[in-house]
Chain A
Amino acid sequence: MLIRSVEVTSFRVLRHVKIDLARGLNVIHGENDTGKSTLMNAIRDVLTRRAKIGGATQRAMLPRDGSTPEIAIEFEHDGALYAVRKRFAAAKGTARLTARYADGRTIDVSGDDAEAALRTALGLGASDGGARKRDEAPGGIWPLLWIDQGTSNFAPSLNDDTRLALSDRLGAISGAVLAGAGAESIFFAARAEYRRHFTDTGKQATGADAALFAAQQRLADATGERDRLATRLREHEATVDRHAALAREVERLGVLLPDLDRAAAAAEKRALELQAHSEKLATANAEAQAATIVAEQAAARVADREGARAKLGHEEAQRDVLRAKVREAEEIVLRHDGARVPLEATERSAASELASRDRAHTVARAEKDATTARRALGESETAWTKAREQHDALVTLRARLTTLAGAEATARAVGDHERAVERAELELEAAAAAIEIRAIGKTAIEVDGAPIDLAPGDATTRRADAPMTLRIPGIVEVRVTPGGKDLVRTRADAEASRTALRRALDAVGARDVAEVRARAEEKRRLDGEIATKEQLLQLLAPNGIDALETTRARHAALLATSEAALASLGTTLETAADDGGAAAEARLEAAERARDDVRTAHDAARSRLADHDLARQHLDADARVARKEAQSTDGRVEELSAAMARAIAELGDDAALVEASTRAASERETRSRNAAAIAAELAKLAPEDAAIAAERTRRAHDGAIAELRDKSAEMNVLFGELRSADLFGLHERLGAAASRVDVEQTEVLRLDERAEAARLLFETLSECRATAQRAFVQPLQREITPLLQALFSDGEVSLDDSFRIDKLARTTHGIDEFDALGGGAREQLAILVRLGMASVLAGDGTLPVLLDDAIVFSSEERFDRMTSVLARVARRLQIVLFTCHWERYRTLGVDRAIDLAALLRANSAAR
């Protein structure tokens, strides 16, 4: 379909406008509120709304002046040329359609016929569309192609007509891979069948209506019940067997018991006989044992007596030896005491010699100390005297210095004044007139009354800085009055300087500057002298003169002490021979040597005496020990003798003891023989074997009884169990349970097979359907993909079963759901998909795509790409763009540009 022209009269804001549209890209531009959207609505309304229309829809079409809206359109479609004109009014609406077909046939119809012919041509179905609400989209494929303002970023929502039309077109292109609604209903039925058995994730369904799950549950229950009953039956059968075995055992024991009884009685009798014999043997053994004890006691007594005698003899011999030892020790001590006397005398003489040497040494030491003290006192007195002299001279110099205080400062001040006077004089010189008086002849000249002697030819120069009178008496008197304020001021300054100098000199009582300077010089000299003296004093008395005084006093005291010591020894110090103490030192050393020699001799004598005394102590101790040992031996000999006497009194003499012992040994022999004879007799009777046999017989008997008791008890218990009421019918119950297991097992297998068949069917159908769908939408993808890649270089869009945009896949961004994209991308994608679908729908023909301000969310760069896409598709589709941005399209080379505002103005002017 290609719209050739539209003429709109009295439609809302449009009073009258007629536009012609070209094949390809048309841009209708104008400012906001010019009527672009109204024009697009007019195109839509004339094509899709019936003329006889009332209510709100018709009211919305009315212009302000209330006249009747009228729209005419011309378009080509399927090789025919159509002209439609409609006046929109409730009952008076008119419609007329003329058409000229390719074969030359024409029609010209009005009213309902015109409406029907138009609807048929546009594929709008039989319904006349009159009931369509104001905002409701028209049928057919047109909502896909006509994009209203503000909806450009909505995904195209395809109506049934469009889906069918697309399916038809795609089917025509790719053949009948999807076999219509019948196949779909089979697919959905297979899916329903699948979902009876499985969840969406392919797991086995477990709900209340999941038959397989229920059967599995029942099978598990039945298996559990069967196993429980089978176990019960097995236990029962084991109990039966156990009971039977017990019965046999009890029977066997019943036969065995009388034999065991008899054997036990025989064993009992034999045991009694053996017991009597054993008692007899025990008595004989006891007697033999008693006789042995008696014999052993007698023998022990004999041995004891012999031992006592031997011990007494030994002690007596020991006692005699010790007594001799004591005597010998006492003699040695006496001899030792005699040797002490000469040693004692030697020691005493050495002690006396040592005392005399000690005193001589003490005197020599005192003399040496006194000599040393006297020398020290002399030295300290000399030092003190020298220091005192320097100190006194320093005091005198310092007193002199005080009179010259400030002399240097004064000299500097007076110097300053002197220089000021000299400067003033120089200035005065410069300022004053110089009067040169040259005598030409001999004459008297007076200057200010004072005569000047000048020889002829001589000259003198006078400075005239004050009024001056030159007179040659009697001849001439010249009064000179130098002028100028400067001179007066200079003279006053000079005078002031001189006065200041004078005053400064007077202040220090100096006659002149030279005197002041001499004083300053004198002070510097004194400072130097004082410094020299102070250094000298520092050398003589580093710690001050008082320290020297102290030292001197200390030395004097030392000397006094030494002299007192000498006096106490009854001697005095030689004063004459002061040789620096060398003689005294020599004497002291000689006295020391003499004393040490005597001391060594004395120490040796004393040591010998001490050794002698120590030796005596040892000898004493030896004698004491010998005495003690002798006493101890005496005591033991006495004790042993007493004990021997007591033993003889008590037990008799040695011979009596020997005789008693011989008798007891004989008795022991007799008893032992008797016991051995009885034991031999008992051994012949084999008591161990008999005891073991008796024990075994008894145990066998008792064991049999116990076993019989236990088995009977167990049988009683088992009897109860075997008669348990729940066993009756156990057989049938087990059979029924096993039967249920069989039934449910079969059912589970059957249902599982059905479920697996349903799965296989559904999966196979799903795969085939998906493959078919991919093949089916491929031509559409082929249309969309190049457009898409103009915007998204590597983008691929996937569409779902109903051609809805599903996802956009890009290598840079991954996969995005449509709704997750930004507004710009959504807009671009939506328009591109619409254009792609329009291309498919157009087939070999063309279709008008109307876009009212449709690229609004896109960036500049994307906008440009979009417009170039539009330019590209305009080769196959009729693109009609309504925009308020003409400048953006101006460079595209549009096929027709319409300035709607200008057109309206022109029309208005014409009118």
Chain B
Amino acid sequence: MRLLHTADLQLGMPFQKIPGDRGSKLRELRLESITRLADLARREAVDVVLVAGDLFDANTVDDRVVVQSLTRFRDMALPVIVIPGNHDHCAGPASVYRRPSFRDARPDNFVVLETREPHLVLGGRAVILPAPLLQRHEVADTTAHITRDLGRDLAPNAIRIGLAHGDVVGFKRDDDGDATNEIEATRATLADLDYLALGDWHGMKRIDDRTWYSGAPEPTSFKQNDPGYALVVDIAAHGAPAIVTPHRVARTRWLAHDMELHLGADVDALAAWFGALEAPLDSVVKLDLRGALSLGDSERLAALLGRSEAQLLYLQHTAWRVLPLASDEELLAIASDGFVKDAVDRLRALTNDGGETGRRAALALQVLHRLHREAEAAAC
């Protein structure tokens, strides 16, 4: 059999750090990831699609997200098996999977496993042993019920596939995973599984030959944990090895970059970095900037960031931490004598003091520089 393993689509994620249209765009791209998974599934001719939890970002997501996603899964035209994760755990009547709109829109190929009962697929060739999260935080190992014997009575020779969501014990936690639901690392061996499909960690991760986190199909943060993949898994028969092939499905690139700016050349270097981006239109960039620039270079930096902001999917930066420090020539240009010169000297002395006052003084000098240029422009 060939299955497609994915997880943590977290549909309906609000991207609260990314406001406005850019946030909407990202939310839309998340829904589109279903379509990209469908393309991959068709291309790879998989038999079944497993979603290892956190399909939805919350039980309270908007109905539009529910209906839109179900429509896309219907179009996939493959069996889709889903377990609730910590984000969309079984919350009784409050569960997104019990919502009337969900029930009305659920296509026949879409199955949610809300209990720990084994589930046969492909006409009994394989049995899915699910570990749905019955509450947000389970106290014990969520896969403890998956034993050697579980499901044997239903199909003694079927391919045994575990489907779980949580934190594998004994491995460095993925920072994007947020549940403290434990999973025994050797569960696949212990329960004689052919493959254990895991969700929760957003980066792709191999635990052992038969135990994998697929990661999220689209990144959700700037953390460098290798998100954006789906896994195609081939298993010939029960007891045969699982052959896992990662496929990149992400469209957005989340890039974090930090830089200290002091010279005009640094601004040029930053411009070059922007220029080298592969897919600027799909890039979400976080720039951690520091340093101090002359007033002229500050303005160049502002212009560069303005351009990039317009180009990129989203640009978040800390340009405010780059102090505009007027050069001697610039200050001299404002006033060479008189009380304005005195004021410039005073503010400059404050700037050297550093701290909040220093920062304010630097900004005040910047304003003065602007006012001076405006006054000159008006005079011309």
Contact = CB atoms under 8 A, between A and B. Distances in A.
Interface of A: 176-180, 182-183, 185-187, 189-190, 193, 233, 236, 239-241, 243-244, 247, 718-719, 722-723, 727-732, 734-736, 738-740, 742-743, 750, 753-754, 756-758, 760-761, 764-765, 767-769, 771-773
A240 B58 CA distance: 13
B94 A772 contact: no
A764 B100 CA distance: 66
A772 B57 contact: no
Interface in B99-119: 99-101
Contacts of B15: 735, 739
A764 B357 CA distance: 13
B116 to A, nearest CB: 16
A766 to B, nearest CB: 9
A243 B94 contact: yes
A181 B23 CA distance: 50
Contacts of A186: 334-335, 340, 368, 371-372, 375
B171 interface: no
B364 A236 contact: no
A760 B372 contact: no
Q: Give the top 7 A-B pairs by smallest Cβ distance, nearest first.
A: A735-B14, A179-B338, A757-B363, A729-B62, A772-B339, A761-B364, A722-B94
Interface string B332-345: 00111111111100
B160 to A, nearest CB: 29
7 contacts: A176-B337, A179-B339, A182-B340, A243-B93, A243-B94, A723-B99, A753-B359
B360 A742 contact: no
Contact of B367 (A193, A739, A742, A768): A193
A185 B340 CA distance: 11
Given A728-B99, A756-B360, A772 B338 contact: yes
Given A739-B19, A761-B367, A182 B375 contact: yes
B340 A183 contact: yes
Given A183-B338, A722-B93, A731-B58, A760 B63 contact: no
Q: Which of B15, B62, B320, B339 has the most CB of A within 10 A?
A: B339
Given A247-B92, A739-B19, A760 B57 contact: no
Given A187-B340, A731-B57, A768-B343, A723 B93 contact: yes
A731 to B, nearest CB: 4
B63 A729 contact: yes
Contacts of A719: 92-93
A236 B92 CA distance: 12
Given A185-B375, A731-B14, A761-B347, 17 more contacts: A178-B339, A180-B338, A182-B340, A182-B375, A190-B367, A236-B94, A239-B94, A243-B91, A723-B99, A728-B62, A731-B57, A736-B14, A739-B16, A758-B367, A760-B357, A760-B360, A768-B342
Contacts of B60: 233, 236, 727-731
B92 A772 contact: no
A757 B367 contact: yes
Interface residue SS majority, chain A: helix
Interface string B25-65: 00100000000000000000000000000000111111111
A765 B375 CA distance: 16
B92 A177 contact: no
B18 interface: yes
Nearest to B135: A244
Interface residues of B, number: 58
Contacts of A761: 343, 347, 364-365, 367-368
Interface string B359-380: 1110111111001101100110
A183 B339 contact: yes
A760 B92 contact: no
Nearest to A769: B339
Interface in B57-80: 57-65
Nearest to A193: B367
Nearest to B356: A756
A186 B20 CA distance: 38
A739 B18 contact: yes
A261 B343 CA distance: 93
Contacts of A723: 93-94, 99-100
B346 interface: yes
A760 B12 contact: no
Contact of A189 (B58, B62, B92, B375): B375
Contact of A742 (B16, B94, B346, B361): B16
Contact of B335 (A183, A754, A760): A183
B93 A771 contact: no
Given A186-B375, A190-B368, A732-B14, A179 B340 contact: yes
A179 B335 contact: yes
Nearest to A765: B343
B307 interface: no
B92 A179 contact: no
B17 interface: yes
Nearest to A772: B339
A193 B371 CA distance: 9
A178 B20 CA distance: 49
B364 A758 contact: yes
A760 B368 CA distance: 11
Contacts of A730: 60
A765 B335 CA distance: 12
B17 A742 contact: yes
A882 to B, nearest CB: 43
B14 A240 contact: no
Nearest to B94: A722
A187 B59 CA distance: 59
A771 B342 contact: yes
B98 to A, nearest CB: 8
B23 A739 contact: yes
B274 to A, nearest CB: 22
A193 B341 CA distance: 19
A731 B61 contact: yes
A787 B320 CA distance: 57
Q: Which of B64, B338, B359, B379 has the most CB of A within 10 A?
A: B338
A750 B320 contact: yes
Nearest to B363: A757
Nearest to B364: A761
A99 to B, nearest CB: 38
A285 B60 CA distance: 74
Contacts of B101: 728
A240 B94 contact: yes
A522 B197 CA distance: 181
Contact of B62 (A732, A764, A767): A732
Contacts of A732: 12, 14, 27, 61-62, 65
A406 B113 CA distance: 171
A236 B93 CA distance: 12
Contacts of B92: 240, 243-244, 247, 719, 722
Given A236-B94, A761-B367, A177 B338 contact: yes
B153 to A, nearest CB: 25
Contacts of A236: 60, 94
Contacts of B359: 753
B93 A760 contact: no
B17 to A, nearest CB: 6
Nearest to B56: A731
A753 B363 contact: yes
Contact of B374 (A189, A722, A742, A773): A189
A767 B346 CA distance: 10
A743 to B, nearest CB: 5
A492 B13 CA distance: 172
Interface in B341-355: 341-343, 346-347, 350
Contacts of B62: 728-729, 731-732
A173 B97 CA distance: 88
A738 B364 contact: no
Contacts of A176: 337-338
A736 B27 CA distance: 12
B12 A765 contact: no
B337 A764 contact: no
